[in-house]
Amino acid sequence: MDLVRSIAPLTSVLAPVIYFGISSATSLVAINVAPPYRIYFAPSIILFALLSFRHLNDIPSWLGLDSLWGLFIIIYIMHITAVLYIEKVILLPRYSGDEERIVLGTQQTGHCSTPWNIKAAYKIWSNPRWLPPIRIRESHGTEILDSIKYQHAQYSFGRPSMTAFVLIRVAKLCIYALFYYFIHTYIFPGYFQPMTINDFTPHRERYFSRLLFGPSASAAASGAGGVTIRETLLRIVLAVDWVVAAYLLLEGCHHMFALLFVAVLRIDDPQSWPPFFGSAWRITSIQRFWGGFWHRLVVEPYGSYALLLSQRVMALKAGSKVEKVLVVFCIFLFSGIAHSVVSWQMGQRCGLWRDVAWFAANFAAGLAEGAVQRQSAALAETIGIDYHRFASGWGGKMVGFSWVFVFFFWSVPKWQFPKIYCATLLEIYNY
């Protein structure tokens, strides 16, 4: 009985992993099939991926692995279906000496068969960012263009030796683990213990209005006072912690899989695993936070669906400003929906719409700051100031850093406090 009880968690984890494995194996075969016949593989790919998602709660909740798995499955579904059924890519292997370059090309003829190549299919399956050496042919022309649409791909990856690759990745994993342990032991929630439900009550979502005008009448009647130092420190930590925690966990997973596929399985080369996040020095605006620093794991798959919506459903002009804004909005919207769906599947019914609202707020903030930047540049030009020089200097960067921090300081509690408050109430009353 003890043996059965000890291996029960392991056997439960196998179900979502096996379902995902079946879906992935089917997708590898489908990539090697001509586009007209791939539709026959769609039920198996989607069904087994959804079954894996359905067993989300069988994944250990340690370090949030269950939520990461749920988001991973959603991104995988969007990525592989976009590749197979929207972009309708075919395999075009190219050779340079002994090195094979895998290329994505849009199927033009409809009946042209693709070369059977499981390794090439794996290169597509494992690359939702659509980074080089994968390329994609534009549907409006015959030229094959690099799919370098964001700053992450502009690094010079080089060719590190296997020894250097392993040592650097292992060292980073150790540093990430120690840093994560220190933060979540001594800073949050450690420094703020004991924490109570009063730290997350609805009136604490408001900060600047309470700071300027004091608490509302209802809050004052319930005994809640004005802004406190503890509350301010908690908001400061939360404004930064979600970024740091996500960075450490996702980068850690990225390094672990890199070691698995490069050093253990020897399927990939070291340069096949470029940095997952951009440089933190690029966090000088909301736009650059999401476009220059944050991982771009969802941009291409979500953007493919957004383009399908704009061009096939809404009949917008390709490349127009309206289409570009719509595509960016859809990427944020799909991200919010994905987080909400994962929370719902995990049994968290509190504040599901807050995920969507927060991502939409980020889109609106980025849109607004773009307008402000254009107006500021025009005003600076009229008075003889080099706006771009200021913006790229230390003064402009500090202003940008401060703005991003203030936005997260204001918005993250509005995103997280209601979910924590509701979940705590449900736990207290055993709902």
Q: For residue range 265-298, what is the model confidence (pLDDT) as tens digits?
A: 999 988 888 889 999 998 999 999 999 999 999 9
Q: Is 165 helix (H, G, I), strand (E, B) or coil?
A: helix
* R_g over Cα of the chain: 24
Instruction: Rounding to the nearest 10 degrees, give the CA dihedral for residues 310, 333, 241, 251.
Output: -50
Whether residue 192 sits in one domain with residue 144 = no
Phi-psi region of 319 (alpha: psi -120 to 50; beta: other; left: phi over 0): left
Name residues of the chain where pLDDT drops below 70. Answer: 1-11, 92-115, 133-159, 217-224, 430-431
State the Cα–Cα distance between residues 239 and 281, nearest whole angstrom: 17
Predicted local distance difference test score (pLDDT) of residue 222: 58
Whether 331 is in a domain gets the answer yes
CB proximity list for 317: less than 8 A, separation 6 or greater = 323
Whether residue 368 sits in one domain with residue 298 = yes
Whether residue 182 sits in one domain with residue 84 = no
Please tell me the total count of domains within the chain. Answer: 2
Domain edge (last residue) among 148, 173, 196: 148
Query: Hunting for tokens 């109570």 — which residue is that?
Result: 196
Whether residue 133 sits in one domain with residue 12 = yes
Whether residue 204 sits in one domain with residue 297 = yes
Domain edge (last residue) among 123, 148, 173: 148
First to last CA, the chain: 32
Predicted local distance difference test score (pLDDT) of residue 196: 87
Whether residue 349 sits in one domain with residue 307 = yes
Nearest C-alpha neighbor of 132 from the set 124, 121, 141, 140: 124
State the Cα–Cα distance between residues 244 and 419, nearest whole angstrom: 20
Nearest C-alpha neighbor of 89 from the set 66, 114, 68, 72: 114
Whether residue 185 sits in one domain with residue 139 = no
Whether residue 218 sits in one domain with residue 140 = no
Whether residue 321 sits in one domain with residue 242 = yes
Predicted local distance difference test score (pLDDT) of residue 387: 79
Neighbours of 427 (CB within 10 A): 10
Whether 156 is in a domain gets the answer no
Whether residue 105 sits in one domain with residue 33 = yes
Asked if residue 271 lies in contact with residue 131, where contact means CB atoms within 8 angstroms, the answer is: no
Domain edge (last residue) among 148, 182, 217: 148
CB proximity list for 216: less than 8 A, separation 6 or greater = 203, 206, 210
Whether 334 is in a domain gets the answer yes
Predicted local distance difference test score (pLDDT) of residue 226: 80
Whether 209 is in a domain gets the answer yes
Whether residue 420 sits in one domain with residue 356 = yes
Whether residue 283 sits in one domain with residue 225 = yes
| Residues spanned by the domain of 124 | 2-148
